[in-house]
Chain A
């Protein structure tokens, strides 16, 4: 899968979780937590949505990989291919 597609899929999840936030102006290199109102509970939701929608399991040790959009895409792209 192309990285742009992976980015879009992650963005769709974030948009559903951060309903009242505008997700269109996200800076891919800055921590999502600093741009959007996301706390640890919400990151758990991102993990659970990845499993629910795309059958991707993110082990707890890998949660830091979801910090920025860039790191999300880098970490998740190989998993989407599998």
Chain B
């Protein structure tokens, strides 16, 4: 029987990053991936000659080359990938659009601060104090207990509208919780979006995955595709290895699982005390391609967080999807535009259970309604796009379930995170979404820090 130092389940961003760290220090490591390509939640496909990205709208955590102490710089250093290889292009400008207010932001925090001061002058001091609180908080400490971000932020900002406008992008770009998030996660997201900002690697998510795969293979790491894991093998709550869907058994001293907390627990036969809860949030995504590019029509926005409800409801909708609130991404609108078409990607919050119970006929009809609602929002935001799209594609919560195997079609995973990666099983650790660092930079940092902590640091140093 084959035996490894570490087996990693899932070739997403976290699994690949963990794999690179382990292979770098001569560990015998194997990555198992269910699908035929790497990427996980952030992947890509081609349709009718178009190269399309899934998941990633933009990379958060933008940092300039050599900028010290930033998550992006840290992760590149740990993976030993030169900054230039990411070929990052910064966003033009993004905004949060609510019924009577709009706030723009760029990768320069001063622009956002000025916006807030001019549109919410009474909240100037409060916002400054919030910035100070965020700056001084150690969000990556693995010991932070859960703290409601809404409660903590209310201490600084009274105006509910401003609070919701600040929370809107942070929630929908990473929260597994409805209407609130853990303060550590709030700070991670606040820094990654408002203080550091958005960028896009030239070539999109393909570039990042290709870089990670190349590095991993150069270091001698082993990877198997079409290799779904049917069971994580344990004995007396100690990890032993995995059993593949083919029945093949592979042994390992340690197993790093990126498949999610509930999903990891579900693949263990032993009865464990924990029952991590499945998150409630799922999404639809509409891809619209146009003959003209947004810039040709005078549109400069990169990402728009759009909400026409009175308050911002970040929760599982009671209907199939919430057509009153969306994220609208214009991937052409970064410094360099390498697309041949104009493109808009539009995300709605959606209800997994309702989607799952549709008949085939209903499913098709409902997808069509998502398309019509998407076009409606595009018309409202950009009347100058007066043409029909030349290509459309739509994902639903069912698509997410199919490709990620996440229970409930979640993107941000369980509401129960394991910050130190530990599970009730010795030698089995979580990486990725349910360890709790967010975004693709967070996912890679999660893989790196868990590999360092549980597989590389000398024994005893963990405590």
Contact = CB atoms under 8 A, between A and B. Distances in A.
Interface stretch (B75-83, B161-169, B190-198, B337-345): B75-83
A52 B26 CA distance: 8
Interface string A36-64: 01010110110010001000000010000
B452 interface: yes
Interface string A20-41: 1100000000000000010101
Interface stretch (A1-9, A11-19, A74-82): A11-19
Interface stretch (B126-134, B414-422, B453-461): B453-461
Contacts of A42: 77-78
Interface in B441-463: 448-449, 452, 456-458, 461
Given A44-B456, A48-B25, A19 B77 contact: yes
Nearest to A48: B25
B77 A60 contact: no
B77 A44 contact: no
B80 A37 contact: no
B404 interface: no
A21 B80 CA distance: 12
Nearest to A42: B77
Interface string B56-81: 00000000011011000110111011
A16 B80 contact: yes
- The majority secondary structure among interface residues of chain B is loop
Contacts of B83: 19-20
A45 B73 CA distance: 15
A21 B458 CA distance: 27
Nearest to A38: B77
B69 A37 contact: yes
Given A20-B66, A20-B82, A41-B78, A48 B73 contact: no
A48 B25 CA distance: 7
Nearest to A19: B82
B69 to A, nearest CB: 7
A4 to B, nearest CB: 26
B34 to A, nearest CB: 30
A67 to B, nearest CB: 18
A20 B80 CA distance: 9
A17 B457 contact: no
A19 B80 contact: yes
A35 to B, nearest CB: 11
Interface string B5-44: 0000000000000000000011000000000000000000
- The majority secondary structure among interface residues of chain A is helix
A37 B73 contact: yes
A39 B70 CA distance: 11
Contacts of B461: 60
A20 B456 CA distance: 24
B77 A17 contact: yes
Contacts of A21: 66
A55 to B, nearest CB: 12
Nearest to B461: A60
Contacts of B458: 60
A18 B26 contact: no
A16 B78 CA distance: 10
Given A19-B76, A52-B26, A41 B66 contact: no
Nearest to A58: B458
B282 to A, nearest CB: 34
Nearest to A21: B66
B384 to A, nearest CB: 41
A19 B86 CA distance: 14
Contacts of B452: 41, 44
Nearest to B457: A44
Contacts of A18: 77
B76 A20 contact: yes
B80 A17 contact: yes
Contacts of A41: 74, 78, 448-449, 452
Nearest to B81: A19
B32 to A, nearest CB: 25
Contacts of A45: 78
B417 to A, nearest CB: 21
Contact of A39 (B25, B66, B74): B74
A37 B80 CA distance: 13
Given A20-B76, A37-B69, 9 more contacts: A37-B73, A39-B69, A41-B74, A41-B78, A41-B448, A44-B457, A45-B78, A48-B25, A48-B456
Closest 4 CB pairs of A and B: A37-B68, A20-B66, A20-B83, A19-B82
11 contacts: A19-B76, A20-B73, A20-B77, A37-B68, A37-B73, A37-B77, A39-B74, A41-B74, A44-B452, A48-B25, A60-B458
